[in-house]
Amino acid sequence: MSQPLTGLTVIELSTMITASFAAMMLGEQGARVIKVEPTDMGDPMRYIGMQKGGQSALFAGCNRGKESIRVNLKTQAGQGIVRQLAESADVLLHNFRPGVMDGVNLGSDALRAANPKLIYAAVSGFGTEGPLSSAPAYDPIVQAQAGITAVQGQGDNKFIRNLICDKITAYTACQAVTAALFERERTGSGQHIDLSMLDAGLFFMFPDGFMNHALLDDDVAPQPLLADLLYELTETADGHITISAGMPHQRLGMLKAIGKAEEIGSDPRFATMDKLVENIVAYQAITRAAFKELTTAEALARLKENDVPCGECLDRDQALGHEQIAANDTAEIVSHPGMGQLRVIKSPAKFGGERLPVGRLSPGHGEHTDSVLAGLGFSDADRDALREAGDIA
Query: pLDDT tens-digit profile of 167-192?
Result: 999 999 999 999 999 999 999 999 99
Cα atoms in the 13 Å half-sphere on the side-chain side of 342: 26
User: What domain count does the chain have?
Assistant: 2
Is residue 365, in this structure, part of any structural domain at all? Answer: yes
pTM: 0.92
Nearest to 193 by CA among 88, 93, 82, 90: 93
Mean pLDDT of 371-391: 97
pLDDT in tens, 14-70: 999 999 999 999 999 999 999 999 999 999 999 999 999 989 999 999 999 999 999
Is residue 214, in this structure, part of any structural domain at all? Answer: no
Is residue 333, in this structure, part of any structural domain at all? Answer: yes
348 and 300 fall within a common domain: no
End-of-domain residue from the set 312, 335, 367: 312
292 and 199 fall within a common domain: no
How many other C-beta atoms are found inside a 10 Å radius of the C-beta of residue 113?
10
pLDDT range class, residue 274, cuts 50, 70, 90: confident
Output b/e per residue, 310-340; b: 16+ Cβ within 10 A: bebeeeeeeeeeeeeeeeeebeeeeebeebe
Report phi then psi at 187, rounded to 5. -110, -20
63 and 181 fall within a common domain: yes
| Residue 252 parent element (H or E) | helix 248-257
Residue pair 130/98 in contact (Cβ under 8 Å)? The answer is no
State how far the Cα of 259 lies from the Cα of 242, in Å rounded to an integer: 18
Lowest mean pLDDT among 34-48, 225-239, 259-273, 363-377: 225-239
* Predicted local distance difference test score (pLDDT) of residue 305: 96
134 and 44 fall within a common domain: yes
256 and 369 fall within a common domain: no
* Predicted local distance difference test score (pLDDT) of residue 133: 93
Average pLDDT score over the chain? 94
Mean pLDDT of 200-208: 95
pLDDT in tens, 305-315: 999 999 999 99
pLDDT range class, residue 1, cuts 50, 70, 90: low
By residue range, what is the domain housing residue 307? 234-312
Is residue 222, in this structure, part of any structural domain at all? Answer: no
244 and 348 fall within a common domain: no
State how far the Cα of 300 lies from the Cα of 257, in Å rounded to an integer: 9
Lowest mean pLDDT among 63-67, 123-127, 198-202, 351-355: 351-355
End-of-domain residue from the set 312, 347, 376: 312
Domain with residue 357: its CATH number is 3.40.50.10540
305 and 343 fall within a common domain: no
126 and 76 fall within a common domain: yes
